[in-house]
Amino acid sequence: MFEASSIGLWGGIIGCAIGAAGGIFGTWISISRTPAGPKRSFIWKMSLIFWLGMLLFLVLIFTLPTIWSLIAWIIYIPCLVFWIRKMNKRLRNTS
């Protein structure tokens, strides 16, 4: 019925769909559980920036040649950690 290559393709598609659904669900929970006011506004804005940044990163990974793709990973991971730490500090300082 299915060839080995098509099973792998379907696994990749289903895995990506489950991952994206988990990200959307997590974003929705984060926004819905944040109290209204400046914190919720901040979470909305950061969620949008994160999703756009992730989409940009994925486009770069899939379109750049292999060596540049690896360099993008090396740059992305420390930048992501820095960004999360900076935004958590900013969130703690908002009332």
| Sign (positive or negative) of CA dihedral 69, 58, 49, 86 | negative
pLDDT digit string (tens) for 30-48? 999 988 888 899 889 999 9
Cα 10 to Cα 13: distance, rounded to the nearest angstrom: 5
Phi, then psi, of 33 in degrees rounded to 5: -90, -5
**Spatial contact of 29 and 85, defined as CB atoms under 8 Å apart:** no
Domain ranges of the chain: 1-33, 36-95
**DSSP character at residue 73:** H
Cα 65 to Cα 85: distance, rounded to the nearest angstrom: 30
pTM score, whole prediction: 0.76
10-residue mean pLDDT profile of the chain (95 residues): values are 77 93 95 89 91 91 90 90 90 75
Give the pLDDT score at 2.
65
